[in-house]
A and B are shown apart, each in its own frame.
Chain A
Amino acid sequence: MASGEIIIKGGYVVDPTRKIDGDVSDVAIRDGKIVDKVSSSAKVIDAKGKVVMAGGVDVHSHVAGPKVNVGRLMRPEDKLLSGFCRSGMAQKNGYRMESGFSIPSTFKTGYDYARMGYGFVMEAAMPPLHSPHVHEEIHDTPIIDEAALPVFGNNWFVMDYLRKGEVENTAAYIAWLLKATKGYGVKVVNPGGTAAWGWGLNCISLDDPVPYFETTPREIITGLLKANEYLGLPHSMHVHQNDLGNPGNYKVTIESLKISEGVKPRNKFGREQVLHSTHLQFHSYKGENWGTFESGAKEVMDYVNRNKAITIDTGNVTLDETTTMTADGPFEHHLHGLNHLKWANVDVEMETAAGVVPYVYDPNIKVCNIQWAIGLELALFAKDMNRTFITTDHPNAGPFTRYPRVIKWLMSRKAREATLGSFKHKDKVIEATHLHSIDRELTLFEIAQMTRSGPAKCLGLSNLYGGLAPGMIADVGVFDLNYKSMPSDPDKIESAFQRAACFIKSGEIVVKDGEVVSNGHKKTVWVNVNMAENPQVKRDIAQSFTKDYTVQLENYSVRDYLAPHPYVINVDVEA
C-alpha cells in the first residue's frame, strides 16, 4: 500500500455515488484511501481535459480456477500471436509475459483489467472442492482485488435440505462453505440442471424434477434466496437461470426472476436487491427455433424495470472467437453438438460440474448478430442503470477486454449502426431485434453507474469500491476523453477506455499512458459469517466427508497461505 499523497487535478469527475456528473474538481489520495485534501507536497497528476472515474468493478467474470485452466490447456491456439509475450518494455521493466486472448494468462488478466481502469473483479463460479486452486490463481493475478462466488445450485447438501424446506440448515451450510472456501456469496448455475446432467438429463423448466433429489429448480432458487437473506450476506443470490442459450427461454427467465417477489433484502451493506440475474443476454431469446430466433430483450427488461429487487448484468456478445466455460455442464454438451468443436466436461463430486467449448461468434451468422443486438438492447431498455451492469460473461460471450467496445456501442448509435450495417444478414437482424429503432445513447454518468457505483452496491461493497467519496479505497482511473466535447469518432471512446491515461489502484499508480508500471498490491476479499453452531449441519458435513467425498474434511478448506492478502468482511448472524 502506497503511503504517498497524490492529487489528481482538474479532471471532469464522474461519480454517481455522489451524483457528480462532469464537475471539474480534484481527487485527493492518502494512504491508499480517498481523502478530502492533501498537503502541498502531494504528487500531482494533471487530468485537465480528461475524465476521472472510480476504478471499475466487474460483477461477473470467469478469470480463475479449474475451468479457466482447462480452457487454457485445451486451446494453445488462443495464445498464438496474441498478447505481449515479446514486449521489450515488459521485459525491461520486469513484468511478466502476457499471453492468450479469450483465456488470458493470470498476468495478462490483471494487467488488462488495470489498463482498462478496473480495480475489483468477481470470479463468477468457484467449484468449492477446487477452491484452493481458484485462490492460487487469484493470488497470481496482479493488481486487481478479487473475490469468488462458490456455486450452490447443484450442491447435494443444499438440494437435500431444500427439498425438506430447511432454509436455516441451508444457511448454516452456506456459512460453513463460505468460510471453508474463502468465498464471497451464493452463486447458482442452472439450478438442478447440472445435477441432473449426472444422469444425462437437464432441468429446462422451473418445475422439472431433479433426479434422485426430488426437488426442482424453483425450490432451489426460492430456498437459496431465503437463506441468503437469512444470513444477510453483502451480495444477493447470483443466478444463471435454467435453459440458457435456447430460443424461447425468455419465459423461463421471467418466471425465475418472479421468484424474488416477496423476498425482502436484509443486510447491513446497503444492498437493495435480493437476486442478481447474470449474463441476461443468454436468457432473453424469443422464437421457436434457430430459424425463428429473435430478441426477447423488451419483455425481459419490462419485467426487470418494474421489479426493484433485481439487478442484472448484460453478457454482451462481442462477435469474437472465444471460449465458453460454465458450470452448466449439459449446456456445453449441447453447444458441442451444434459446433462440433472440442469439448471438455468435468464432474465435481457432490457439488457441481463444468464444461468448456470454443465458440466463434461469426459476424456473418444471423444468430450471432441477433445475440449481439440483444445484449445491447438489455442496457438500452434499462431504466435504472444502477441495477444494470456491463459484462461479457467473460469469456463466454466475449473477452472482458471488449468492455470498451461495448461502452462504445452503448454510447454511440453511429457505432451500433456501423456494426449492424456490416452484417451480411442486416435486414433479417433488424427484423428480429429492436436495436435499429433505438436512438438512446448512454452518457458517461450512466456508464459509470453500470461499471462502478452499480456493481459495487450490488455486491455490498459500496463503502469500498465504485465511488470517489473520502474514506473509500483509492481506485481512480483517468481517461483521455473530454467530457465537454466528446469525440465524434466513436472509436476514440473505445480506445480511451481500453488504455487508461492513468490508473491508481489502492493509492498506487499502476498504469500510466496505457502501460502497466507496477504489479500493485492486490487483495482477496471474502466473507466470514459468524453464527451459532448448527449441530445437525455440522454432523451432516462430517458424515458426508466420511461417506461420500474422496477428500478428508481436514484437507478440504483453503489454507490461509493460499490467500495471503485477505480482506475479510465479517457478517454476524443474530440467532
Chain B
Amino acid sequence: MATVTLKPTKTPEIMLEGYSITPDAFAGKTPAQIAALPAHEGKIHVTLGDFFAVTGESGATAADTNILIAGDCSRVKYIGSKMTAGTVTLNGNADMYVGGWMKGGKIHVKGNVDSFCGIQMEGGELLVDGNAGNHVGCAYRGDWRGMKGGTIRIRGSAGNDIGTFMLGGTIIIEKDAFIHVSTHAEGGTVIIKGDVEGRVGGQMVKGDMYVLGKIKFMMPGYQKVGTIEKEVDGVTATFDHYIGDLGERHGKSRGQIVYANLYLKAAA
C-alpha cells in the first residue's frame, strides 16, 4: 500500500469540484501527474495542484492506493466519489457529495460533511466522525434508484432525507436526525441511535428502520404489530415493531404481504 498526501494550500473562492480525488484517478500516477488532474471551480477549469501540494506515492491500482488529505476541505466537493477501491482519509471537514456513487474502498472523514454524502452508493464504507448535512445515502434528485449497498456511519447527527429511495446497504446515524427517513425506500437498513423529528418511512415499500431514541411525530401509515427484543449495531433492546407504510403498494412473499419494518425502542 502506498499513500498520497494532499495538503491544502489555498481556499477555493467558489466550491472546488474535486471529482479527481479518488484512488482510481490517482493510481499509477506520480505526484506531478496527480497535481495535473482536472477539477472545476465554477465553470473554470483548474487542476488539483492549484489547491493542494501533492507528495508521497500512489500504488499501481486503486486498491493499493491510500489518499491522506492533511487539512480542511470544507469547500471541496466530490471527494472519493465513484471510487471502487483503496482508501481516503480526510483530517478535516468536507463539502457535498463525499463518496457519492462509490462502489468500494473506504472513506474516513474526521470532521463534518455537508449534504449528499454517499448518494446512490453501491458498495464500500463511508465513516464520518462529525455530523452530516442532508440527503445522506439518498438518491440523486429525481432518481428512483437510491443507495444499493455498502455502509455509511455518521458518528454525529444528520439532517433530513436519509436513505431516500434506498434499495440496499446500511446507514447508521449515531446521534439525532431531522425529518424524512427512508422515504420511498424498497430495501436496506437505516439505524438512528438518537431522536428523530418525524416523517419516518413515508411511502416506504420495503426495508428496515431502527430508532433507538424517540420519534416526535409518528407517520399515520404505520401500525404496531408487536414487541420484540433485538440486537442492533451492538445494542440489545426491546423494540415496538411497526409495519407500513400502509398507504403504499407492497409485494408478496409466500402469500404474505411484505411491509417495511420500523423498530422503535420501547419506553423503559
Interface of B is mostly: loop
Check if B75 is an interface residue, CB within 8 A of chain A.
no
B140 lies within 8 A of chain A by Cβ: yes
> How many residues belonging to A are interface residues under a CB distance threshold of 8 Å?
12
- A314-346: which have CB < 8 Å to B? 340-342
Tell whether A341 pairs with B144 under 8 Å between CB atoms, given A86-B40, A88-B45. yes
Cα-based distance from A74 to B249 in the complex (angstroms): 22
Asked if A91 is at the interface of the complex by the 8 Å CB criterion, the answer is yes
Asked if A77 is an interface residue, CB under 8 A from chain B, the answer is: yes
Complex: A77 Cα to B144 Cα, angstroms = 9
Contact with B along A88-119 (1 / 0, CB 8 A): 10010000000000000000000000000000
> A160: shortest Cβ distance to chain B, in Å?
40
If A86-B40, A340-B249 touch, whether A77 touches B45 (CB-CB below 8 Å) is: no
Taking the complex as formed, is A551 at the interface, i.e. its CB lies under 8 A from any CB of chain B? no
A75 contacts the other chain (CB 8 A): yes
**Which of A76, A88, A91, A341 touches B141 (beta carbons < 8 Å)?**
A76
Instruction: Tell me whether B43 and A77 are in contact (CB under 8 A).
Output: no
Q: Does B226 touch A at the CB level, under 8 Å?
A: no
Q: Report yes or no: B144 in contact with A74, Cβ–Cβ below 8 A.
A: no
* Residue from B40, B140, B249 in contact with A80 in the complex, judged by beta carbons closer than 8 Å: B140
* Mask: chain B, 133-162; 1 = CB below 8 Å from A; 0 = not: 000000011111000000000000000000
- Please indicate the chain A residues that have their CB under 8 angstroms from the CB of B43 in the complex: 86, 91
**Nearest opposing residue in chain A for B186, CB measure:** A340
Q: How far is the CB of B67 from chain A (nearest CB, A)?
A: 23
- In Å, the complex CA distance between A78 and B144 comes to 12
Q: Which residue of A lies closest to B145 (CB)?
A: A77
Interface residue range, chain B = under 10
B40 touches A77 (CB 8 A): no
Residues A77 and B141 in contact, CB atoms below 8 Å apart: yes
A330 to chain B, nearest CB (A): 21
Most central of B140, B142, B143, B144 by chain A CB within 10 Å: B142
- Decide yes or no: A77 and B140 within 8 Å by CB, A86-B40, A88-B45, A91-B43 being known contacts: yes
The answer to whether A76 and B142 touch across the interface, beta carbons within 8 angstroms, is yes
Which of A77, A88, A91, A340 touches B143 (beta carbons < 8 Å)? A77
Q: Considering the complex, which residues of chain B in the window 29-46 have a beta carbon less than 8 Å from any beta carbon of chain A?
A: 40, 43, 45
Is A75 a contact of B45 with CB atoms below 8 Å? no
Q: Report chain A residues within 8 Å CB of B142.
A: 74-78
Chain A hits for B40, CB < 8 A? 86
Give complex CA distance A342, B144 in Å.
Answer: 9
Complex: how many Å from CA A148 to CA B16? Answer: 43
Interface flags for A72-86 (1: CB within 8 Å of B; 0: not) read 001111101000001
CB contact list, B84-142 vs A, under 8 A: 140-142
Q: Chain B: which residue is nearest A79 at the CB level?
A: B142
Across-interface contacts of A91 in B (CB, < 8 A): 43
Bound-complex Cα distance A342 to B40 (A): 33
Q: Which residue of B lies closest to A80 (CB)?
A: B140
In the complex, what distance in Å separates the CA atom of A86 from the CA atom of B40? 9
Most chain A CB neighbours (cut-off 10 Å) among B40, B45, B144, B249: B144
State in angstroms the CA–CA spacing of A341 and B144 once bound together: 8
**A-B contact list, 18 entries, CB within 8 Å:** A74-B142, A75-B142, A76-B140, A76-B141, A76-B142, A77-B140, A77-B141, A77-B142, A77-B143, A78-B142, A80-B140, A80-B143, A86-B40, A86-B43, A86-B45, A88-B45, A91-B43, A341-B144
Q: 18 additional contacts, CB 8 Å, given A86-B40, A342-B144? A: A74-B142, A75-B142, A76-B140, A76-B141, A76-B142, A77-B140, A77-B141, A77-B142, A77-B143, A78-B142, A80-B140, A80-B143, A86-B43, A86-B45, A88-B45, A91-B43, A340-B249, A341-B144
Q: Which 10 interchain pairs have the tightest Cβ spacing?
A: A77-B143, A76-B142, A77-B142, A76-B141, A77-B140, A75-B142, A80-B140, A341-B144, A88-B45, A86-B40
